Amino acid sequence: MTYCVGIQLDRGMVFMSDTRTNSGVDNISTFRKMHTFEVPGERSITMMTAGNLATTQAVVSLLQERTKTVENREPEILRLESMFQVAQLVGSTLKEVIATHADVGQKADATFNATIILGGQIKGGAPRLFLIYPEGNFIEAGADTPFFQIGETKYGRPILIRAYDPAMTFEEAMKLLLVSFDSTIKANLSVALPLDYHIYPVDSCATGTLGRIKVDDSYFETISNGWGVALRDAFGALPDFELPDS
Amino acid sequence: MTYCVGIQLDRGMVFMSDTRTNSGVDNISTFRKMHTFEVPGERSITMMTAGNLATTQAVVSLLQERTKTVENREPEILRLESMFQVAQLVGSTLKEVIATHADVGQKADATFNATIILGGQIKGGAPRLFLIYPEGNFIEAGADTPFFQIGETKYGRPILIRAYDPAMTFEEAMKLLLVSFDSTIKANLSVALPLDYHIYPVDSCATGTLGRIKVDDSYFETISNGWGVALRDAFGALPDFELPDS
């Protein structure tokens, strides 16, 4: 499995993805699931992937035009005029890759599937955040649904629902995402550190702060331990149930 | 879907189940998913069910021997010597019901499935808590895994993992379960109030406190609102992330 979240804030967007891939429980590896595309000052695009690793790597390679020699590469994703067109390109590429591999050999319908969170901004347009389905179609985030999750989404959802605020600072948003990831990691073996993140400030149209939270990251440990204590304290502060006959 | 939790404490067991059943999103109903069996002073058995409603109702009816006339009913579940035997009986009944209906007509493999949490105590034995699978086999709770969840388990799991303590009072345990249910209800339409509960004090060998948290329950509202505030406060008290370049 996987866990990735992309959120929209007033001041930009924050993306976070784990790096664990597994095929069964005894074949685990670390792979980057976050990919960025950039024309500095003109566009910044971030993609995060969940699902079949061969599918998602093929999609990224095709978008980077790695089928061509280095000097002949002019990735379309760096030339399209709007984020909507970028989402269409990513969606159709994803759909084609799945269709290609599903055509021969194994027919299991979920096996080659993948889902993608795509966010970014092209100069002159607004920052936009999309969730792209294996069928190639997609939905866009808005004020009512300002974040998307893919992969193992349930454990980390309650805190996102309750603590998200569009006016958050990037520092608070990073904390929120780390709490959400920590809840997921605590409950599910298939999601694990390190975590990749990208903090994109609105209208910069360039890659913002890219980083990785490593396994022994002291801030993550502070959050993970602190959140356990804070949860128990918060829980203790609520009034106890009164038994009907007491 | 459904959400049911059974937890073991030093002082007994607490069971809680929601009451929503749905077939699609436009066919929702309220059904009791918690069933108790009792010989006062001799045994108390609680069952909670998740899965196909026809299957779980058939299992309960068979255990109550409703195929017989009222005067001829001597339910085996009230006569077996140990909780282990009770778990075997429930498991085999569940397996048979699923097999009967799977044999004719529809063949979809998940359609008639159900899972059961079974807990109770028979005089002379210890209180025991089981999770029974559609195949009829089962696992038992212990010190390392002192609670079982069935149905829509993920949203409400992080708080159970973090705040559970075997020395809890019943009042605290009820609060914990209500927080766990609240997180689930907030995130998933297929789980809803009212909630049924049974608080079983160890060695009583009789039905303890049975009750229902109704839709407008003021304590549940206090917990639900209070937990949202407490979560945001706890979140706010954690140190913010420091951007690498700040």
Confidence of residue B105 (pLDDT cuts 50, 70, 90): low
pLDDT over threshold 60, residue A110: no
This model of the complex carries an ipTM of 0.84
pLDDT at B112: 82
Q: Which range is least confidently modeled, B98-107, B158-167, B212-221?
A: B98-107
The residue with greater pLDDT, A11 or A104, is: A11
Specify the residue for token string 């390392």.
B144
Per DSSP, the three-state class of B230 is helix
CA separation, residue A44 to residues A29, A129, A221, B213 (Å): 28, 12, 31, 50
Q: A14 — phi, psi (to 5°)?
A: -125, 135
pLDDT digits (tens, 9 = 90+) for B7-41: 999 999 999 999 998 887 788 899 999 999 999 99
Question: What are the φ and ψ backbone dihedral angles of A126, each rounded to 5 degrees?
Answer: -90, 160
How far is A67 from A47, CA to CA, in rounded Å?
Answer: 20
* Interface list for chain A against chain B, based on CB atoms closer than 8 Å: 154-155, 157-159, 161-163, 169-172, 174-176, 178-179, 183, 186-187, 199, 209, 211, 219, 222-223, 226-228, 230-235, 237-245
- Say how far apart CA A128 and CA A87 lie, in whole Å: 10
Instruction: Tell me what percent of the residues of chain A surpass a pLDDT of 70.
Output: 95
Residue A46, pLDDT above cutoff 60: yes
Strand, helix or coil for residue A205? coil
The confidence score (pLDDT) of residue B6 equals: 98
Instruction: Report the sign of the C-alpha dihedral through residues B179, B185, B188, B192, in that order.
Output: positive
The closest of A98, A91, A143, A99 to A117, measured between CA atoms, is A91
| CA A197/CA B243 separation, integer angstroms | 11
Average per-residue pLDDT for chain B: 92
Question: For A60-79, what is each residue's pLDDT tens digit?
Answer: 999 998 888 888 888 999 99
- Report the distance separating Cα A120 and Cα A37, nearest Å: 9
Min Cα–Cα distance to chain B from A81, Å: 31
B233/A228 touch (CB, cutoff 8 Å), yes or no? no
Tell me if B133 sits within 8 A of B115, measured CB to CB: yes
Q: How confident is the model at residue A104 (pLDDT cuts 50, 70, 90)?
A: low
β strands within chain A, DSSP E: 3-9, 12-17, 20-22, 28-30, 34-39, 43-51, 114-122, 128-132, 138-140, 147-151, 195-201, 209-213
Judged against a pLDDT cut of 80, whether residue A231 lies above it is answered with: yes
CA neighbor of A205 nearest in space, from A58, A73, A78, A60 = A78
Question: How much is the mean pLDDT over chain A?
Answer: 92
Helix (H, G, I), strand (E, B) or coil at A234: helix
Q: Cβ of A219 and B211 within 8 Å?
A: no
pLDDT at A67: 81
At A66 the pLDDT is 84
**pLDDT tens for residues B145-197?**
999 999 999 999 999 999 999 999 999 999 999 999 999 999 888 899 999 99
Biggest CA–CA distance in chain B, Å, is 80
Residue B69 pLDDT greater than 90, yes or no:
no
Chain B environment of A219 (Cβ under 8 Å): 239, 241-242
Residues B151 and B153: their CA atoms lie apart, in Å, by 6
| pTM for the whole structure | 0.89
Domains in chain A, CATH or no CATH each: 3-236 (3.60.20.10)
Helix (H, G, I), strand (E, B) or coil at A97: helix
Q: Give helix A170-187 / helix A218-237 axis angle, nearest 10°.
A: 80
Which of B172, B231, B237 lies closest to A240 in CB terms?
B172
